[in-house]
C-alpha cells in the first residue's frame, strides 16, 4: 500500500462561497428531440421534457441547458433558426416553454437556453428578404454575400471550407455567393452590421423577460471574421504528439476566434446585468490553447466556457493531469470558474469513446463496418471518468443519457442518418446521429418508454433495455445510482466550490487529489492501487474492497 508522503501541491484554492450558482453548478444538457416525447410523434418535445423534470431533480443536478427548440426547418436539428422568438410546432408552443420554465424553477432547477447567433436558417425572414432583394441591397448586408472569383465569378470568393465538409460558399441564381461555415441552409450573419447586433440583444431580452437563467452561445468563436475574408493558408495546429487538431471539428483559421468577437460579449454582459438575479452566458468556443478560451470569460464577458480541451484529452493520466492543471491556471487568471464536460450532442458519447482502441479518441461518429468500441470497458472507464470529473471543483456539464451509461448507437444504418455532416462529406464522416438517439426510460415498453406510441425518430439498440432508467433506479451500484450518489456527495461536501491539491504518491497512471475533505483517486492504469488504510468510501465507479482500487476506476474517500 502507498501512503501519502508529500505535501499536496495546491493548484486551485477553494472559493469558499456558494454564491453565483454557475461557478459550481452541475448542468444537464437536454437535447429536446431525444429526451422525452409527449405527443407520440416519435420526436421529443417541451411537454415531454416538463413531464420528466422530476427525474432531473431526483438525479440532483442544479440546472438544465436546452438545445434549440425554436422555429426551424431542422436542416441541422434546430441549429438553423428561422424565428428566434418562437417555439417550433414540432416541440410545442411558447406556453409550453413557460410551463416548462415554471416547473423547473419550482423544482429548484435553473434553465439556460441555446442561442445561435453565427448563422440563421435559410428560411429566416432576413435571408428570404436578402434573396428577394438582390445584389447591392441593404437586405444582403445582413449576411456575407460576395462576388465570386474567376472571369465570370464562377469560383467562390475564398478557399474556406464548411465545418460539415465541402465549400463554405454557395452561389445563388443572380451570381453572388453567400458564406456558410456550416450547412448551405445556415447562412452566416454579418456581425459588422448594427442591425444584427441590435437584433440579438433584443432576442436575449425576449428570453430573459420570460425568466431564463442564461444562454449557451453556439459557435461563440465564429461570429466575427478576419477583415477582407482572406484565404486560409490551411495551417492546422495539432495536439502535441498526436494527429488530432487542437481545436476539434476544423475550428481554426481566419473565420474563428477573432479579437473583435469579444466586444459582442461585453455588450451581452451588460444586457444580462439589466436583469435582477444571477444569469450566465456559456461559450461554445472550440479554441486552443486554454489561454485563448480564458479571454471569453474575462470579468466583463461571459461567465463560463465549455472546456473542450478536457473532453478532447485521451484516457491518459499525465495528459489529463496537465489539462486539469492548465484549466485552473488559465481560468483562475481571469477569475472565472473552470467547467468540465465529457459528452454532448456533437461528439461520440464518452462511454463509447473510452472503449475505442485509442481510448478517448474522437471519430466524428461510428457506423456499421467501423471498428466497434468495447462496450463493457467503455462503460467502466466512462464511470471512472465521470467520478473524476465530478470530484473536481468548478461547474460540470452532463449530457442526457450519460447518467444511464448510454453508449452511442454505433451501427445505425446509413439511410437513417440525418446529420448534414454525413451528407456533406459523402459519408466519410458518419456524423453525430449516434449520440442523439432517443432515451430509454422503461425497459419493457415499446420505444423503451420514450414516447406514448413507442415511435422513435431514430432506432434504439436492443441492448438499451438494460440501460433503461427503470432497470437501474434503486439498483445499488447501477450507473444511475452512482451518478445520484456522486451528485449528492458533491453537493453535501461543497466540492464544486472546493480546491484542488494533488496527492502525488500513487504513480504515473493515477490521478489523485484532495478537494476539501475528500480524496479522489482515479486509476487509469491496469494495475491495482492501494488506498489509505481506514479510509471511508464515499462513492466509487466500481465496487472497491480491501483497500484496493482496481484499474479503470475512481473512488472518493474520506480519510480516517
Q: Does 218 bind ligand GLC (CB under 6 A)?
A: yes
Across 431-535, the runs of DSSP E, i.e. the strands, are: 500-502, 510-515, 518-523, 529-530
Q: Do residues 204 and 271 lie in contact, with contact meaning Cβ atoms separated by under 8 Å?
A: yes
In the region spanning residues 312 to 371, those forming contacts with ligand GLC, defined by CB under 6 A, are 345-346
Q: Using CB atoms, what's the residue nearest to ligand GLC? A: 79
Q: Does 422 bind ligand GLC (CB under 6 A)?
A: no
CB of 480 to ligand GLC, least distance (A): 26
175 phi-psi bin (left φ>0, alpha ψ -120 to 50, beta other): left
CB of 294 to ligand GLC, least distance (A): 20
- Between 177 and 182, CB nearer to ligand GLC: 182
- Between 88 and 284, CB nearer to ligand GLC: 284
Task: Kindly tell me the sign of the dihedral angle through the C-alpha atoms of 21, 22, 23, 25.
Answer: positive
CB of 527 to ligand GLC, least distance (A): 38
Could you say which of 62, 188, 218, 429 is catalytic? 218
DSSP state of 268: H
Cα–Cα dist 395/18, whole Å: 12
Cα–Cα distance list, 405 to 158, 298, 345, 370 (Å): 44, 35, 15, 21
Q: Does 188 bind ligand GLC (CB under 6 A)?
A: no
Is 274 known to be catalytic? Answer: yes
Strand partners, 522: 511, 554
Task: Kindly tell me the sign of the dihedral angle through the C-alpha atoms of 257, 263, 264, 269.
Answer: positive
Q: Say how many CA atoms lie within 13 Å of 217 toward its Cβ.
A: 29
What nine digits make up the cell of 535? 479510509
Q: Pick from 22, 143, 182, 457: which binds ligand GLC (CB under 6 A)?
A: 182
Cα–Cα distance list, 290 to 247, 305, 333, 346, 505 (Å): 10, 10, 11, 20, 27
Q: Which helix (H) or strand (E) holds 113?
A: strand 110-115
Q: Pick from 37, 45, 62, 76: which binds ligand GLC (CB under 6 A)?
A: 76
Q: Pick from 79, 268, 422, 556: which binds ligand GLC (CB under 6 A)?
A: 79
Q: Pick from 116, 223, 261, 531: which binds ligand GLC (CB under 6 A)?
A: 116
Across 175-225, the runs of DSSP E, i.e. the strands, are: 177-179, 214-217
- Between 308 and 441, CB nearer to ligand GLC: 308
- Between 311 and 359, CB nearer to ligand GLC: 311
Binding mask 270-289 for ligand GLC (x = CB under 6 A): --------------x-----
Q: How many residues bind ligand GLC (CB under 6 A)?
A: 9
Q: Does 200 bind ligand GLC (CB under 6 A)?
A: no
Q: Taking the CB of residue 172, how many other CB atoms lie within 10 A of it?
A: 14
CB of 421 to ligand GLC, least distance (A): 8
Could you say which of 106, 274, 370, 517 is catalytic? 274
Q: Pick from 46, 168, 219, 359: which binds ligand GLC (CB under 6 A)?
A: 219
Q: Which helix (H) or strand (E) holds 384?
A: helix 375-390
CB of 77 to ligand GLC, least distance (A): 7
Is 527 known to be catalytic? Answer: no
Task: Kindly tell me the sign of the dihedral angle through the C-alpha atoms of 427, 429, 434, 435.
Answer: negative
Q: Does 435 bind ligand GLC (CB under 6 A)?
A: no
- Between 96 and 346, CB nearer to ligand GLC: 346
- Between 189 and 379, CB nearer to ligand GLC: 189
- Between 218 and 301, CB nearer to ligand GLC: 218
CB of 427 to ligand GLC, least distance (A): 18
Which are the contacts of 424, defined by CB distance < 8 A and separation ≥ 6?
A: 162, 164, 165, 166, 183
Name the residues that contact ligand GLC, by CB under 6 A. 76, 79, 116, 182, 218-219, 284, 345-346
Residues carrying an active site annotation: 218, 274
Amino acid at each position: 500500500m502507498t501512503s501519502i508522503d508529500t505535501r499536496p501541491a495546491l493548484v486551485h484554492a477553494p472559493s469558499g462561497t456558494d454564491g453565483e450558482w454557475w461557478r459550481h453548478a452541475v448542468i444537464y444538457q437536454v437535447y429536446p428531440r431525444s429526451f422525452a416525447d409527449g405527443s407520440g410523434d416519435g420526436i421529443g418535445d417541451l411537454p415531454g421534457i416538463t413531464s420528466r423534470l422530476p427525474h432531473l431533480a431526483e438525479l440532483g443536478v442544479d440546472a438544465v441547458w436546452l438545445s434549440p427548440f425554436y422555429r426551424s426547418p431542422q436542416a441541422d436539428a434546430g441549429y438553423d433558426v428561422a424565428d428566434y422568438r418562437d417555439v417550433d410546432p414540432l416541440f410545442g408552443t411558447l406556453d409550453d416553454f413557460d410551463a416548462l420554465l415554471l416547473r423547473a424553477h419550482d423544482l429548484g432547477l435553473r434553465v439556460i437556453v441555446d442561442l445561435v447567433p453565427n448563422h440563421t436558417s435559410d428560411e429566416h425572414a432576413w435571408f428570404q428578404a436578402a434573396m428577394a432583394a438582390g445584389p447591392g441591397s441593404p437586405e444582403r448586408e445582413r449576411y456575407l454575400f460576395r462576388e465570386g472569383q474567376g472571369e465570370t465569378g464562377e469560383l467562390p470568393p475564398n478557399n474556406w471550407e464548411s465545418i460539415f465538409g465541402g465549400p463554405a460558399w454557395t452561389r445563388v441564381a443572380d451570381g453572388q455567393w453567400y458564406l456558410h461555415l456550416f450547412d448551405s441552409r445556415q447562412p452566416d450573419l454579418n456581425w459588422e452590421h448594427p442591425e444584427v447586433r441590435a437584433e440579438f440583444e433584443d432576442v436575449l431580452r425576449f428570453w430573459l423577460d420570460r425568466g431564463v437563467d442564461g444562454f449557451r452561445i453556439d459557435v461563440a468563436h465564429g461570429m466575427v471574421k478576419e477583415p477582407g475574408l482572406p484565404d486560409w493558408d490551411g495551417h492546422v495546429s495539432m495536439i502535441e504528439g498526436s494527429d488530432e487538431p487542437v481545436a476539434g471539428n476544423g475550428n481554426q483559421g481566419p473565420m474563428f476566434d477573432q479579437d473583435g468577437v469579444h466586444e459582442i460579449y461585453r455588450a451581452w454582459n451588460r444586457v444580462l446585468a439589466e436583469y435582477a438575479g444571477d444569469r450566465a452566458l456559456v461559450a461554445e468556443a472550440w479554441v486552443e490553447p486554454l489561454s485563448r478560451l480564458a479571454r471569453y470569460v474575462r470579468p466583463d464577458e461571459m461567465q463560463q466556457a465549455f472546456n473542450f480541451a478536457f473532453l478532447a484529452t485521451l484516457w491518459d493520466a499525465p495528459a489529463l493531469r496537465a489539462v486539469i492543471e492548465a484549466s485552473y491556471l488559465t481560468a483562475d487568471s481571469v477569475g472565472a470558474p473552470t467547467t468540465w464536460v465529457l459528452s454532448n450532442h456533437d461528439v461520440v458519447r464518452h462511454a463509447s469513446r473510452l472503449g475505442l482502441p485509442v481510448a478517448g479518441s474522437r471519430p466524428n461518429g461510428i457506423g456499421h463496418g467501423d471498428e466497434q468500441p468495447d462496450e463493457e470497458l467503455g462503460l467502466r472507464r466512462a464511470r471512472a471518468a465521470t467520478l473524476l470529473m465530478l470530484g473536481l471543483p468548478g461547474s460540470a456539464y452532463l449530457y442526457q443519457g450519460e447518467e444511464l451509461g448510454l453508449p452511442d448507437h454505433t451501427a445505425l444504418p446509413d439511410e437513417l442518418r440525418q446529420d448534414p455532416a454525413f451528407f456533406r462529406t459523402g459519408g466519410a464522416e458518419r456524423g453525430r446521429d449516434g449520440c442523439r438517439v432517443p432515451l430509454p426510460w422503461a425497459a419493457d415498453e415499446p420505444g423503451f418508454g420514450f414516447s406514448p406510441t413507442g415511435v422513435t425518430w431514430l432506432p434504439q439498440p436492443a441492448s438499451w433495455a438494460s440501460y433503461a432508467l427503470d432497470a437501474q433506479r434503486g439498483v445499488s451500484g447501477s450507473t444511475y445510482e452512482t451518478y445520484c450518489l456522486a451528485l449528492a456527495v458533491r453537493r453535501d461536501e461543497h466540492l464544486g466550490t472546493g480546491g484542488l491539491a494533488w496527492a502525488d504518491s500513487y504513480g504515473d497512471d493515477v490521478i489523485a487529489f484532495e478537494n476539501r475533505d475528500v480524496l479522489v483517486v482515479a486509476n487509469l492504469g491496469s494495475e491495482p492501487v492501494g488506498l489509505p488504510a481506514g479510509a471511508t468510501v464515499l462513492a466509487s465507479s466500481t465496487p472497491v474492497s480491501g483497500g484496493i482500487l482496481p484499474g479503470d476506476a475512481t473512488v472518493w474517500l474520506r480519510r480516517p
